Every structure is written in structure tokens, then in C-alpha cells.
């Protein structure tokens, strides 16, 4: 098959890797230069522990509470926008216990499958991207959060995801080099992490060396459709006539899908990160500050801090107040780490593709026979990337997928 992948993030690159390995001809089309985006500056966490979707009970109340604080971890920019209103209504409809219970097995299966692909990639790829399985610490400081996390840990254990509730002393024992201020934490020993920019920056030339064509700085302008099939893609670099098309354009997927008359509700959730370099005494285990919603990942002698979720549309402005919220949270959990406000040019931002029910869109379109969608992974794109890419390759090859895709039906909001 001649396969065109639209989107050069971790989902698109993973799809290209497995498609090329299966013998297909692959062209990646990306409107940028593949040097940035959500797949580069994220927290680098591989999180099978994250089996509860974003659309869950309590999220709306928390979101409303956070919206009025300029340094809070969550913000929805109020605007009269039909797509945002529809998305918000669907989020409201899905933020219930029934949806969570239905989503957990699907997310767990996809997450475990993707982690297994990472384990294999760490063996097969001829370069090091710092893949390590040290788990994840969810740190909390209040009794309210402790109660919530105990419930989350119980749900995880009930579904076969190992979770350990730790006292303050047990948390500190896992971090002998850095003082931790926490009431306690939940430890997920099955989680992993990597250095995302090392993966992306080496995977791109590797794919090129294997014959994958990459059309960077190339816009998709028009799709030619005949009898429910894409027969041509007009781009700013010329025309392609692929046998199969993979749509993996992240936060831009909704707009691109509309060119194909498909309804793919999507909002961009902006997140920020920055690196603390030359850390002499680093943490050993990635952590999440639960009250502040800040993710912290060791990357060699560096430490990445990331956080916030701003639903502001496709907007590349940087709110330094949100960054300030991340910086101010650090000494509350790691009091010995001295972290100054980064300069705005050292703050990375990415737009996470958020579906309204918190589940990605993965599968073949029923309306367009040679279109496969692989997008909407929100904060879990890196974590779910290889698993999604392998599923895409199996769909193109006409094989049965190892993961049940019913919950990820890309046309579930049609």
C-alpha cells in the first residue's frame, strides 16, 4: 500500500514506523518542520496507571473553581464559539460514573499494549531514548486529595493496575537524594518514562533512512473524494494519490476532518513545560503534584516541569501567570529545589488534542473507506503513541488489531 500520514507527531511517526516495517510505502505530511509540537516538550511519561478519562465526575466542579485563579492548572477561555459549546455539552454528558466504568477497560488495554511496544522499541531501535521503568509517584498534601487518591488506587488495583498507598516516610524512602514534602502518595510501579525530544529527534532521521518520505512545512489544501474514497490529496507541495490515508494531526484534526465532512469534536488543551538543567541532586521517580497538577520528570541531569490545561482554541500565546503557578508549586513539594521563573523564550508550549469524552479517536472511518483516524489522545499521546501506531499498521494491512477499538470509534459523535 501507498500510505499518506497527515501529522508528524508521535502518533504519525509511530504509525510510519510500523507501516514501513510491514512493507508499505509511507509519506508523512506535516504543516510544520517536525522540530516541535506536543511530542517534544511533554513530560515523557508512559502511564498505564492513567485509566480514568478526563471526563469524570468532579472535573466540572474543579474546573469552575480553578477558572477564576490566573495561576491555576485549568482554564477555559470564555468565548461564543459553536464548536466549544458543543464540545462542552458532550464533556458534561460524559462526566459521570457510567462513562468512567465503560472507559477504564478500554484505556487500560490500550495503555498496556502501548507500553509493551515501548519495551520492544527500546530493544529494537538503534538509538537510546532513555526509556526507564521506575514507576510514578502521585504526591498529595491535603486530606481531601488523600481520600480521592485512595479511591483511585482502589479502582486501579481492582482493574489489575498495581497501586501502592504510601506514607510520608515511605515516599521519602523512594527519594533519598531530595527532600519531599507530602502527606503521602500513591506509587504506580508499572509506569515508565523517557526523554521525548531524544526519541523524536532520532526517530525522524531513522524513518527517513528506512525509506519514509517526510513532506515538512506542507499544508493539506484539499481532498479529492470519489464514491466515499479519498483518491487525491492536494498539498502546498503538490498532489498525492495514496491508497490509504491516516489522519493524525492532533489539535488540528477537527478542522481537517471537516474538510471530509466528518464531525470530530476536538479542543486544543494548551500545556507548558520548562527544563531545569545541571541538577546535582535529582529526583529518581517521576512525580505528579496532585493539588497543583504539575508533572515532574528526571531526564539525565535535567528535570522537566510541566502542567496546565488551557482550553483556549488554537492559540500559541504564553500565559506567564500559568507558568508562575507551576514554579510556585515546586518548593511546596520539593523544598530544596531552587527554581526561578524561566524566561518566556525558555518556556515550551504544546496543544494537546482533547476529545469531549476523554478517549482518543482510533479506527477506520465508516464513511470514507480508505481513511483511518488516530488522534485525540490529549495528555497521553506520547504514552499511547506506539500502541496506536501498531494498530494503524494492522488496520492498513487488513489484520485483526490486538486492542478492541469499539470505545475509540472515530465517528461516535457523528
Predicted confidence band of residue 71 (pLDDT cuts 50, 70, 90): confident
73 pLDDT higher than 90:
no
Verdict on whether the full-model pTM lies above 0.85: yes
Cβ burial, residue 261 (10 Å; 0-12/13-18/19+): exposed
Averaged pLDDT score across all residues of the chain: 95
Higher model confidence: residue 209 or residue 35? Answer: 209
Q: How far apart are the first and last CA of the chain?
A: 28
Predicted confidence band of residue 69 (pLDDT cuts 50, 70, 90): confident
Q: Which of 67-76, 92-101, 303-312, 319-328 has the lowest mean pLDDT?
A: 67-76
Task: Give residue 229's pLDDT.
Answer: 98
Tens digits of residue pLDDT in 182-191: 999 999 999 9
The CA distance from 46 to 281, in Å, is 23
Tens digits of residue pLDDT in 349-374: 999 999 999 999 999 999 999 999 99
Tens digits of residue pLDDT in 142-200: 999 999 999 999 999 999 999 999 999 999 999 999 999 999 999 999 999 999 999 99
384 pLDDT higher than 80:
yes
Predicted confidence band of residue 313 (pLDDT cuts 50, 70, 90): confident
Fold for 2-408, please state it: FAD/NAD(P)-binding domain (3.50.50)
Task: Give residue 208's pLDDT.
Answer: 98
Predicted confidence band of residue 59 (pLDDT cuts 50, 70, 90): confident
Counting residues of the chain whose pLDDT is more than 70, the rounded percentage is 100
Predicted confidence band of residue 18 (pLDDT cuts 50, 70, 90): very high
Task: Give residue 35's pLDDT.
Answer: 82
The C-alpha cell at 77 is 477561555
Task: Sketch the domain layout of the chain as residue ranges.
Answer: 2-408
Average pLDDT over residues 237-252: 97
Predicted confidence band of residue 36 (pLDDT cuts 50, 70, 90): confident
Closest CA to 405 of 381, 380, 387: 387
Predicted confidence band of residue 76 (pLDDT cuts 50, 70, 90): confident
The C-alpha cell at 114 is 502501548
8 Å CB contact between 280 and 300: no
Task: Give residue 312's pLDDT.
Answer: 81
39 pLDDT higher than 80:
no
Task: Give residue 107's pLDDT.
Answer: 98
Tens digits of residue pLDDT in 336-352: 998 999 999 999 999 99
Predicted confidence band of residue 131 (pLDDT cuts 50, 70, 90): very high
Task: Give residue 198's pLDDT.
Answer: 95
Amino acid at each position: 500500500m501507498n500510505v499518506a500520514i497527515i501529522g508528524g507527531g508521535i502518533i504519525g511517526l509511530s504509525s510510519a514506523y510500523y507501516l514501513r516495517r510491514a512493507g508499505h510505502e509511507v509519506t508523512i505530511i506535516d504543516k510544520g518542520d517536525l522540530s516541535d509540537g506536543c511530542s517534544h516538550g511533554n513530560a515523557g511519561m508512559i502511564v498505564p496507571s492513567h485509566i480514568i478519562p478526563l471526563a469524570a465526575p468532579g472535573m466540572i466542579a474543579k474546573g469552575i473553581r480553578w477558572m477564576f485563579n490566573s495561576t491555576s492548572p485549568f482554564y477555559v477561555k470564555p468565548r461564543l464559539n459553536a464548536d466549544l459549546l458543543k464540545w462542552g455539552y458532550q464533556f458534561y454528558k460524559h462526566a459521570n460514573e457510567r462513562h468512567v466504568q465503560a472507559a477504564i477497560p478500554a484505556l487500560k488495554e490500550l495503555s498496556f499494549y502501548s507500553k509493551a511496544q515501548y519495551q520492544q522499541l527500546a530493544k529494537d531501535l538503534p538509538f537510546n531514548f532513555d526509556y526507564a521503568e521506575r514507576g510514578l509517584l502521585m504526591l498529595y498534601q491535603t486530606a481531601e486529595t488523600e481520600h480521592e487518591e485512595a479511591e483511585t488506587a482502589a479502582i486501579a488495583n481492582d482493574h489489575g493496575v498495581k497501586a501502592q498507598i504510601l506514607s510520608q516516610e515511605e515516599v521519602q524512602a523512594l527519594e533519598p537524594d531530595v527532600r519531599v514534602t507530602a502527606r503521602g502518595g500513591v506509587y504506580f510501579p508499572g509506569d515508565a518514562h523517557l526523554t521525548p525530544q531524544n526519541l523524536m529527534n532520532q526517530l525522524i532521521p531513522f524513518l527517513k533512512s528506512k525509506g519514509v518520505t517526510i513532506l515538512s512545512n506542507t499544508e493539506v489544501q484539499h481532498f479529492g473524494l470519489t464514491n466515499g474514497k479519498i483518491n487525491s490529496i492536494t498539498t502546498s507541495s503538490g498532489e498525492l494519490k495514496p491508497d490509504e490515508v491516516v489522519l493524525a494531526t492532533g489539535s488540528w484534526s477537527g478542522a481537517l476532518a471537516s474538510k471530509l465532512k466528518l464531525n470530530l469534536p476536538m479542543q486544543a488543551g494548551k500545556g507548558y513545560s520548562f527544563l531545569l538543567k545541571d541538577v546535582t541532586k535529582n529526583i529518581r521517580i517521576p512525580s505528579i503534584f496532585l493539588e497543583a497538577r504539575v508533572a515532574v520528570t528526571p531526564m539525565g541531569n535535567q528535570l522537566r516541569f510541566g502542567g496546565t490545561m488551557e482550553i483556549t482554541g488554537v492559540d500559541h500565546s504564553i500565559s506567564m501567570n500559568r507558568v508562575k503557578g507551576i514554579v510556585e508549586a515546586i518548593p511546596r513539594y520539593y523544598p530544596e529545589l531552587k527554581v526561578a521563573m524561566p524566561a518566556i523564550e525558555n518556556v515550551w508550549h504544546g496543544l494537546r488534542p482533547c476529545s469531549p469524552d476523554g478517549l482518543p479517536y482510533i479506527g477506520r472511518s465508516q464513511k470514507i473507506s480508505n481513511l483511518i483516524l488516530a488522534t485525540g489522545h490529549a495528555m497521553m499521546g506520547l504514552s499511547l503513541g506506539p500502541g496506536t501506531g501498531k494498530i494503524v499498521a494492522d488496520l492498513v494491512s487488513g489484520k485483526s488489531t490486538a486492542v478492541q477499538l469499539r470505545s475509540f470509534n472515530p465517528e461516535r459523535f457523528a
